[in-house]
């Protein structure tokens, strides 16, 4: 039910509905209470676009990636962008994708915010350092940051924390139950939280950390192929990969050396891309609930826009943690006898 349908049901204008929820403007207490009571009864809540009808909101939010143009070639972030766009459409909100330009720094985003072209911004980042240069945006505009890292001095009022700890712990624990003791780790470009979770999971399962089973930071499928060659020489029976792309490379590299997957080597990726279920064998991965991330980010931004549009003194912070989980497919199996 949108605001027009609800206002017709209650018998008031859309502007009156907006005033009832915002608590601003000319509206009697009796009318406001009746509207809120009916809204609760019918499960109705206004969205960003609804409030635009009686405010100066543009009805547009920005999606900003601090990775620059790499977003175009990053399957995970493409899939996340699709989910956010889908959620925005369900809330009748327009989405503007803004890419970081190394040459122009963050001028485009700053210009959009300064010109009131955006009501709020969702920022996807991997480190606090990546937020440098965005201080004005965060101060002037409702902002939600999505990241798998968490910082005590995060400047944004809204924060969605993607917690890989739970999924990585599930994966390592499951591999250990299958008899694996030499579990390698193919690192990503910015993977501190994932790497720390891997080390903690080993410790919790009574396995001593071995730095020889950890590769240098990698990024592409080819990097994954090269990384697995070195790890196989170290006698690993399983490998955790920081992304599914690296896992695709590890899978290709292993099969190219006539290493059976999962007979000789179990492989686990992270991100659970759409392609992961289509590889042969199908890739086990750490599942990321992108739909929940998108829904949480848009709703949180909605709250921040609502408070920012009213009392600027409201500085309450919002934080939501989204947990990951192991999705087991055909690339995981028990360790071979004599290799444990």
Please enumerate in sequence order all residues whose Cβ is within 8 A of that of 141, keeping only pairs 6 or more positions apart, or say none: 113, 118, 119, 120, 121, 308
Least confident of 65-74, 95-104, 289-298: 65-74
Q: Is the pLDDT of residue 9 over 80?
A: yes
Q: Which residue has the higher pLDDT, 250 or 101?
A: 250
Q: Which DSSP string corresponds to 54-90?
A: TSS--SEEEEEETTGGGGGG-HHHHHHHHHHHHHHHH
- DSSP state for residue 249 in the 8-state scheme: H
What integer is the mean pLDDT of 331-339? 87
Q: Is the pLDDT of residue 22 over 90?
A: no
Least confident of 67-71, 89-93, 127-131: 67-71
Tell me: the pLDDT tens digits for 179-192? 999 999 999 987 88
Q: Enter the pTM of the model.
A: 0.80
Tell me: the pLDDT tens digits for 258-306? 999 999 999 999 999 999 999 999 999 999 999 999 999 999 998 888 7
Q: What is the pLDDT of residue 283?
A: 99
What whole-number distance in Å separates Cα of residue 336 and Cα of residue 257?
18
Q: How many CB atoms lie within 10 A of CB 262?
A: 21
Q: What is the pLDDT of residue 68?
A: 56
Tell me: the pLDDT tens digits for 147-179? 988 776 767 789 999 999 999 999 999 999 999
Whole-angstrom CA distances from 127 to 7, 151, 174, 284 are: 44, 9, 29, 27
| CA angle, residues 48, 52, 57, in degrees to nearest 5 | 90
What whole-number distance in Å separates Cα of residue 300 and Cα of residue 230?
44
Using alpha carbons, select from 168, 179, 231 the residue that is nearest to residue 203: 168
Q: What is the pLDDT of residue 71?
A: 52
Q: What is the average pLDDT score of the chain?
A: 86
Please enumerate in sequence order all residues whose Cβ is within 8 A of that of 174, keeping only pairs 6 or more positions apart, or say none: 326, 328, 332
Q: What is the pLDDT of residue 166?
A: 97
Q: What is the pLDDT of residue 312?
A: 43
Q: Is the pLDDT of residue 314 over 70?
A: no
Tell me: the pLDDT tens digits for 218-253? 999 999 999 999 999 999 999 999 999 999 999 999
186: Cα separation from own chain's centroid: 21
Confidence of residue 311 (pLDDT cuts 50, 70, 90): very low
Q: What is the pLDDT of residue 51?
A: 56
Q: What is the pLDDT of residue 321?
A: 94
Q: What is the pLDDT of residue 18?
A: 74
Q: Which DSSP string corresponds to 136-172?
A: HHHHHSEEEEEESS--TT---SEEEEEE-HHHHHHHH
What whole-number distance in Å separates Cα of residue 30 and Cα of residue 149?
46
Q: What is the pLDDT of residue 187?
A: 97
């Amino acid at each position: 039910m949108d605001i027009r349908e609800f206002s017709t049901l209650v018998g008031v204008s859309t502007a009156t509905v907006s005033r009832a929820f915002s608590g601003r403007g000319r509206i009697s207490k009796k009318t406001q209470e009746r509207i809120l009571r009916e809204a609760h009864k019918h499960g109705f809540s206004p969205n960003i676009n609804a409030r635009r009808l009686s405010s100066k909101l543009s009805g547009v939010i920005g999606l900003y990636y601090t990775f620059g143009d790499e977003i175009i070639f990053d399957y995970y972030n493409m899939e996340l962008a699709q989910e956010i766009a889908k959620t925005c459409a369900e809330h009748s909100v327009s989405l503007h994708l803004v890419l970081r330009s190394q040459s122009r720094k963050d001028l485009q985003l700053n210009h959009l915010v300064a010109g009131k072209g955006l009501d709020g911004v969702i920022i996807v980042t991997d480190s606090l350092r990546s937020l440098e240069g965005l201080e004005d945006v965060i101060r002037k505009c409702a902002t939600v940051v999505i990241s798998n890292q968490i910082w005590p001095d995060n400047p944004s009022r809204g924060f969605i924390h993607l917690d890989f700890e739970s999924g990585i712990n599930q994966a390592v624990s499951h591999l250990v139950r299958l008899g694996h003791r030499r579990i390698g780790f193919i690192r990503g470009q910015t993977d501190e939280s994932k790497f720390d979770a891997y080390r903690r999971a080993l410790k919790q399962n009574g396995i001593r950390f071995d730095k020889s089973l950890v590769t240098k930071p990698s990024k592409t499928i080819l990097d994954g192929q090269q990384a697995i060659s070195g790890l196989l020489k170290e006698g690993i029976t399983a490998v955790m990969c920081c992304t599914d792309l690296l896992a695709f490379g590890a899978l290709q590299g292993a099969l190219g050396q006539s290493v059976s997957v999962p007979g000789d080597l179990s492989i686990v990726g992270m991100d659970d891309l759409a392609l992961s279920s289509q590889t042969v064998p199908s890739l086990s991965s750490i599942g990321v609930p992108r739909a929940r991330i998108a829904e949480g980010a848009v709703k949180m931004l909605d709250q921040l826009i609502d408070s920012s549009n009213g009392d600027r003194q409201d500085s309450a912070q919002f934080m939501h943690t989204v947990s990951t989980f192991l999705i087991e497919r055909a690339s995981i199996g028990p360790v071979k006898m004599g290799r444990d």
